[in-house]
């Protein structure tokens, strides 16, 4: 196992910070000792069912931030495997703290840009994908940096099993519009909303994160649930 997988995939530029304030001694210890034990393979295919053979379902969270949502979902569903990918070291360290404190054995982590790792995942291997409050990159000239693009739509379609679920949440109106434009034109995904409350009200299984409570966006959170056909 390794701290960060090194896939044979195109090299991407990571925008934004990779690390914030220095880690505490405990956090650094978890990064040095626990992360390699629950990391992803250094090379070759990533098969979630092989990584977490005791789990019935397999879930991926992209950009898990501080790990509150990831850890809480994993604690709630011990028979489900959770893989989290996050490039920000401090967020990874926080997630490791939750995993260690709660003794979660159904989580695997990678400190990486998810765009580099998605090509390594095996086809139709995931039951669910979370992409919660990704960086919206407000400026028009930065739109290409947004995580939701045709390439990631294709990756999600490849990785999700038929009937698999994708949840995207954002508190930025332009990003919500961007996501809907991308996915409503793709007949591999079916939007699950039938009325306004379906995207205005947090789903019953949603876990609110610290970032979400800050209300940094320009609109109330929008929750977009899609099903892979």
Query: Measured between alpha carbons, how far is 105 from 1 in angstroms, rounded to an integer?
Result: 15
- The model's pLDDT over 151-169, given as tens digits with 9 standing for 90+, comes to 999 999 999 999 999 999 9
pLDDT band at 140 (very low <50, low <70, confident <90, very high): low
Q: Is the pLDDT of residue 4 over 70?
A: no
Catalytic, out of 100, 135, 198, 225:
135
Residue 104, both tokens: 């979660």
pLDDT at position 83 = 98
Report the candidate in 137, 12, 145, 28 with the shortest Cα–Cα distance to residue 92: 28
Which value, in Å, is the radius of gyration of the alpha carbons in the chain? 17
Strand ranges across the sheet with 222-228? 107-110, 80-85, 57-62, 126-132, 160-170, 222-228, 189-191
According to DSSP H, which parts of 67-218 are helical?
68-76, 89-102, 114-117, 150-159, 173-184, 197-200, 210-214
Q: Is the pLDDT of residue 125 over 50?
A: yes
In order of 57, 82, 98, 105, the CA distances from 53 in angstroms are 10, 12, 22, 11
Quote the mean pLDDT of the chain: 91
Do the strands 126-132 and 57-62 form a parallel or antiparallel pair, or are they unpaired? parallel
Task: List residues bridging with 228 in a β-sheet.
Answer: 189
Stretch (H or E) spanning 32? helix 25-37
Query: Measured between alpha carbons, how far is 123 from 126 in angstroms, rounded to an integer?
Result: 8
Query: Measured between alpha carbons, how far is 197 from 194 in angstroms, rounded to an integer?
Result: 9
Respond yes or no: is residue 135 known to be catalytic.
yes
Selected residue with higher pLDDT from 140 and 65: 65
pLDDT at position 11 = 45
Say if residues 11 and 78 touch (Cβ distance below 8 Å): no
Stretch (H or E) spanning 48? helix 48-51
pLDDT band at 44 (very low <50, low <70, confident <90, very high): confident
Cα angle value 54/60/63 (rounded, 5°)? 140
Report the candidate in 148, 121, 152 with the shortest Cα–Cα distance to residue 137: 148
Selected residue with higher pLDDT from 182 and 9: 182
Q: How many helices (H) and strands (E) does the chain have?
A: 9, 7
- The model's pLDDT over 67-117, given as tens digits with 9 standing for 90+, comes to 999 999 999 999 999 999 999 999 999 999 999 999 999 999 999 999 999
Query: Measured between alpha carbons, how far is 144 from 139 in angstroms, rounded to an integer?
Result: 10
DSSP state of 119: G
Q: Is the pLDDT of residue 194 over 80?
A: yes
Q: Is the pLDDT of residue 25 over 80?
A: yes
């Amino acid at each position: 196992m390794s701290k960060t997988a090194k896939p044979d995939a195109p090299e991407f530029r990571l925008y934004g910070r990779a690390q914030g304030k220095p880690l505490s001694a405990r956090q650094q210890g978890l990064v040095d000792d626990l992360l390699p034990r629950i990391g992803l393979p250094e090379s070759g295919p990533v098969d979630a069912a092989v990584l977490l053979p005791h789990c019935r379902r397999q879930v991926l969270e992209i950009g898990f931030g501080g790990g509150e949502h990831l850890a809480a979902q994993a604690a709630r569903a011990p028979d489900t495997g959770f893989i989290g990918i996050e490039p920000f070291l401090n967020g990874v360290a926080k997630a490791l703290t939750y995993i260690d404190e709660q003794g979660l054995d159904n989580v695997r982590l990678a400190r990486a840009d998810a765009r580099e790792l998605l090509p390594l995942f095996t086809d139709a291997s995931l039951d669910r994908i979370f992409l919660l409050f990704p960086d919206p990159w407000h400026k028009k000239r930065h739109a290409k940096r947004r995580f939701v693009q045709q390439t990631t739509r294709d990756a999600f379609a490849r990785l999700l099993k038929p009937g698999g679920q994708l949840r995207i949440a954002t508190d930025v109106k332009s990003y919500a519009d961007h996501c809907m434009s991308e996915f409503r034109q793709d007949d591999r995904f079916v939007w699950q909303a039938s009325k306004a409350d379906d995207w205005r009200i947090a789903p019953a299984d949603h876990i609110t994160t610290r970032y979400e409570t800050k209300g940094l966006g320009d609109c109330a959170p929008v929750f977009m649930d899609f099903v892979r056909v």
